[in-house]
Chains A and B, each alone.
Chain A
Amino acid sequence: MSISVKTFASSAEAASALSGDRTARFMGGGTLIMRAVNEGDQSFSTVVLANDPALKQVQPQGDRLIIGAGVTMAQILASRDLDFLHPVARAVGGPAIRNMATIGGNLFAEPPYGDMTAALLVLDCQVMLAGGQSAALADFLRDRAREPRTLVASVSIVRPQSGVFKFRKASRVKPKGVSLMTVAAWVPQSGGRVSGARIAYSSMGPTPMRVPAVEQALEGVALDEAGIANALAAATSGIEPPTDAIASSWYRREVAPVHLKRTLLGG
């Protein structure tokens, strides 16, 4: 099947083109769609592009940040406003990939990719669609397989206070490899006790996910070895980690508490 490419000046026009063509897919940086084109993917025949400058913008809005879906990992690394996301962006691919891969595209990445999405999950991310609707990231991820033609305009995240946001990607190849397991944590403390923790994993299921059992176990505890013991015991509670070329489900279960502990306490 041949591919046709349609380029639009605005994301609204691109979204309209996507909604009217079941065989269309939106392309941001190309790291997912061009890969599929090169593999001869027959599930789509039209590639939609948008040259909308709004897709490349980062804007503060109160205590939140609006990041255009077309912002690349390299742009994040060059932005002082997004310094808390630098460790996350640096964990994505090598320099060439980071010049291409976008934050919007990461929302569609299948495991073992999607490290940035795990971080966004704990940063209270709202996904803004080109049509003006918005959705909580967890809901967006639940529906993404059914809605491959969705055009994301931007993501809205909360800007963390120093020390609240933590991130760790574990991989078998150094310095860069695909994720064995990625952990993102939002652990605000009040009076020396964790209050309102959010924990997310990627590469531990079909999409990046929050881990409610760990979040509950962290509530009201001190962020030290004794305090997080119950959270570590619940590290894979309610989760069925995949077996793939990187690791078995058993192995992921065994190492999950180790990587969760390193994320929370460092080391």
Chain B
Amino acid sequence: MSKKPVQFTLNGDSKAVFVEDGQNLLDVLRRGVGDLSPKYGCGQGTCGACTVLIDGEPHLSCLTLAETVEGRSLNSTGGLAQGADLHPLQDAFMRHFAAQCGFCSSGMLMAAKALLDRNPNPSRDEVVEAISGNICRCTGYEPIIEAILDAAQSGAGRRSA
């Protein structure tokens, strides 16, 4: 199996890795560069747990061929906090009990960040739409929606824009 060199930025840091033919981006992030924040849920594009931002837009890393991110800018949940300071979205998720088992949280946070970066003051319907590709089996979604709306009010979108 041949390997190809791929370079990209992840949360502002340059990364250079060799990827295997057919390897998906999630696998490269987790095993290749050691960012365990995106989760492997279904591998089929159904659950959204692997969501990362590519050039600011949400993508499913499990369905992204790793070599296609050459030269692009990636963001994952692993880059949200600044040291001990949580991102406002993470803080709101904590205060609203928006994480129970936590497996969906990484994808939810990135879907929410993509929304707030584009639309700092979303309506409730826009929040629901933004996380419509992300499945949570614990919370019933309400605490997540409330957390995102709260984070928007506290200026999360303006900070990350």
Contacts and interface: CB of A to CB of B under 8 A. Distances in A.
Interface of A: 2-5, 7, 27, 30-31, 34-35, 37-39, 47, 49, 74, 93-97, 99-100, 175-176
Size bracket of the B interface: 20 to 34
Given A97-B60, A100-B60, A38 B67 contact: no
Interface string B114-157: 11000000000000111111100000000000000000000000
Interface stretch (B9-17, B42-50, B73-81, B89-97): B42-50
A30 B63 contact: yes
A19 to B, nearest CB: 21
- Most chain B beta carbons < 10 A, residue from A37, A49, A94, A99: A94
SS of A interface (majority): mixed
Contacts of A49: 65, 68
Interface of B: 1-2, 21-22, 24, 43-45, 48, 51, 54, 57-60, 62-65, 67-68, 111, 114-115, 128-134
Nearest to A2: B1
Given A31-B45, A95-B114, A96-B111, A5 B132 contact: no
B68 A93 contact: no
A5 B19 CA distance: 11
Contacts of A93: 45, 133
A210 B64 CA distance: 33
B65 A100 contact: no
Contacts of A34: 24, 45, 62-65
B146 to A, nearest CB: 17
Contacts of A31: 45, 60, 63
A74 B133 CA distance: 14
